[in-house]
């Protein structure tokens, strides 16, 4: 599972080539520049297949992914893709969880206010409002491929809050944390 990577797994070090591998690689070595050659047998991140690169990057927080965009063009491309995909996934997760809560709420508004899930419903409404504001800000630039979703820390905070709300729902739906306090950091980060 790429989300459970240890630090050692994130480092991609291959063993030194055997003598038979070295003789076949000698022909290719003439084509490589001195800057591309590594004496210790390590493989650079940029030389890995894209699937492995993505699996490694998925082990990081969105904040770290956003910071890695500055390193090179390849990292900018990979990290931009992951940030945009995370932003899209956030919208899907919010809609799915809101629908899950609404199915359990009574239809009448008067009964809904006193229901055990009403505070969870209010929290998801607050998340949805924040997400809508972020969508209005970033969607046009993402669609034009002019920019990606930049604030990775905001995505981390959204997913942290959704995780808290999911756990609260699974424990019976009583939210013990104040909603305004829960959403305070998100409001501060997304301004």
Distance between CA atoms of residues 58 and 56, nearest Å:
5
Q: From first to last of its 191 residues, what are the pLDDT tens digits of the chain?
A: 444 444 333 333 333 334 344 444 444 444 444 445 556 788 888 899 999 999 999 999 999 999 999 999 999 999 999 999 999 999 999 999 999 988 888 888 777 777 888 888 889 999 999 999 999 989 998 988 888 888 899 999 999 999 999 988 888 777 777 888 888 888 888 77
Which residues, including other chains, have CB under 8 Å from residue 81's CB and lie 6 or more apart? 148
pLDDT of residue 93: 95
pLDDT of residue 83: 94
Q: Which two tokens stand for residue 15?
A: 């063993």
Distance between CA atoms of residues 187 and 133, nearest Å:
11
The phi and psi torsions of 15 (rounded to 5 degrees) equal -70, 160
- Asked, for residue 70, whether it belongs to a domain, the answer is no
- Asked, for residue 133, whether it belongs to a domain, the answer is yes
Q: Which two tokens stand for residue 186?
A: 């998100």
Residue span of the structural domain in which 150 resides:
84-189
- Asked, for residue 41, whether it belongs to a domain, the answer is no
Chain position carrying tokens 């490694």 = 56
- Asked, for residue 15, whether it belongs to a domain, the answer is no
- Asked, for residue 32, whether it belongs to a domain, the answer is no
Which one, of 190, 166, 158, 150, lies nearest residue 68 by Cα? 150
Question: How large is the angle between the packed helices 152-170 and 179-189, nearest 10 degrees?
Answer: 160
The number of folded domains in the chain is: 1
- Asked, for residue 89, whether it belongs to a domain, the answer is yes
Distance between CA atoms of residues 183 and 191, nearest Å:
12
pLDDT of residue 113: 77
- 157: burial class by Cβ within 10 Å (0-12, 13-18, 19+)? buried
- Asked, for residue 14, whether it belongs to a domain, the answer is no
Which one, of 78, 93, 86, 56, lies nearest residue 153 by Cα? 86
pLDDT of residue 7: 36
pLDDT of residue 39: 64
Other beta carbons less than 10 A from residue 75's beta carbon? 18
- Asked, for residue 125, whether it belongs to a domain, the answer is yes
pLDDT of residue 38: 56
């Amino acid at each position: 599972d790429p989300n459970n990577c240890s630090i050692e797994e994130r480092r991609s070090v291959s063993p030194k080539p055997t003598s038979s591998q070295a003789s076949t690689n000698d022909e290719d070595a003439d084509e490589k520049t001195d800057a591309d050659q590594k004496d210790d047998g390590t493989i650079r991140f940029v030389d890995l297949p894209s699937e492995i690169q993505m699996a490694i990057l998925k082990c990081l927080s969105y904040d770290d992914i956003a910071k890695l965009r500055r390193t090179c063009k390849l990292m900018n491309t990979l990290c931009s893709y992951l940030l945009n995909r995370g932003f899209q996934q956030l919208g899907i997760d919010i809609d799915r969880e809101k629908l899950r809560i609404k199915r359990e709420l009574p239809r009448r508004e008067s009964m809904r206010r006193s229901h055990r899930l009403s505070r969870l419903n209010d929290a998801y409404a607050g998340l949805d409002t924040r997400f809508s504001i972020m969508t209005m800000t970033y969607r046009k630039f993402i669609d034009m491929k002019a920019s990606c979703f930049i604030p990775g820390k905001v995505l981390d905070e959204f997913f942290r809050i959704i995780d808290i709300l999911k756990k609260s729902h699974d424990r019976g739906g009583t939210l013990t944390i104040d909603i305004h306090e829960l959403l305070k950091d998100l409001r501060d980060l997304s301004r």
